Amino acid sequence: MRVASAPVSFGVDEILVEDAWMPGPDEMLDWMVEIGVEGTELGPPGFLGTADEVRLRLRTRGLALVGAFLPQHFSRDEKSDDDRAWLRDSLALIRDGAPDGSRPLAVLSDHFDEPERLAFSGRIEEHPEAWLPAARFEALIANLHRAAEICRAEGFEPVLHPHAGTYVETADEIARVMDRIDPSLVGLCLDTGHFRFGGADPARAADDYRDVIRHVHIKDCRTAVMDGVKREGKGLEEALGRGVFCPLGEGDSRIDAVIETLRRNGYAGWLVIEQDQFLRASDSPDSVVATQRRNRDYLRRFGI
């Protein structure tokens, strides 16, 4: 297993965009090199620049491009044409921006912009009004398969990333989708934080889905934060702002058991350290780097 990072670990993401400050792309990549990771995911398209800028920035630092997060409205047929055009443009950027030797994965996700899902995220099972109707579930599967076909036609290995705030959040929703997808088209990205957020056991998932796991986001999740957010009737953004995704080893994702299971099952892909961060004025470059260095050091305890 090789270790990468992602811009979201440094406060750069597509959900919490009103941080008090944000690092620049060169500064962030230099931090990754200092911490000792071998690659990075792309982050929000455009953050690392044009394809030429991405390739130069990563090549000069010896970093691989390991993947890109590509959310789409899989259950909304009316948005499929726009989503597919955006997907093709994004894949072109990834392909042209990847340094020699990189084989980035296309990390597909259902989108996180449905108001009901965001409002009830973390307590979906209690709110049937936010469940996906049968017809839209069929659309989700069909559009996911079509997106995967596009990725494969462009030379990318696609993986599905179950994600909080989407229609693939809870353990039951993940199982329902995994029962229907064609594994010859699309594999699974095991995100240990989002699986735990949705009520799944990441270590059990690492075993149950061992034949289709092709990418791993290693992330910890504090269930105590989730419990507080649930009691107050809040949703995903509040949970993220309170630090539901925490430094490795400080939450309830059972990272040690996940790593043991991945090893036992022969997983030899990337472990992408992710700690979705909302940067406040009290955070500083030094404090952010120190936290991510601790995350990298945590994995070294397991010989990774």
Q: How confident is the model at residue 281 (pLDDT cuts 50, 70, 90)?
A: confident
pLDDT digits (tens, 9 = 90+) for 17-46: 566 668 899 999 999 999 999 999 999 888
- 1 touches 273 (CB < 8 A): no
pLDDT of res. 18: 65
CATH number, domain with residue 8: 3.20.20.150
- 279 touches 11 (CB < 8 A): yes
Through-space distance between the first and last CA atoms of the chain, rounded to whole angstroms: 7
pLDDT of res. 22: 83
pLDDT surpassing 90 at residue 238: no
What pTM did the predictor assign?
A: 0.95
pLDDT of res. 241: 84
pLDDT digits (tens, 9 = 90+) for 150-184: 999 999 999 999 999 999 999 999 999 999 999 99
- If you ran DSSP here, which 8-state letter would residue 253 be given? S
Overall domain count for the chain: 1
CA–CA separation, 205 and 258 (whole Å): 9
Sequence-distant (6+) residues with CB within 8 A of 55 are 96, 97, 98, 99
Alpha helices in the chain (DSSP H): 25-35, 51-61, 80-97, 115-120, 134-153, 171-180, 192-197, 202-208, 223-231, 236-241, 255-264, 285-300
Token pair of 92, please? 């072109």
CA–CA separation, 175 and 221 (whole Å): 20
Token pair of 146, please? 């079509």
Strand partners, 68: 106
Q: How confident is the model at residue 283 (pLDDT cuts 50, 70, 90)?
A: confident
- 106 touches 68 (CB < 8 A): yes
Q: Please tell me the least confidently modeled range out of 14-18, 65-69, 127-131, 248-252.
A: 14-18
pLDDT digits (tens, 9 = 90+) for 51-107: 999 999 999 999 999 999 999 999 999 999 999 999 999 999 999 999 999 999 999
Can you give the residue range of the structural domain that contains 289?
A: 2-300
pLDDT of res. 14: 62
pLDDT surpassing 90 at residue 16: no
Buried-exposed string 6-40: b where 16+ CB fall within 10 A, e elsewhere: bbbbbbbbbbbeebeebbebeebbebbeebebebb
pLDDT of res. 230: 87
Distances (CA, A) of 162 to 8, 62, 123: 16, 30, 16
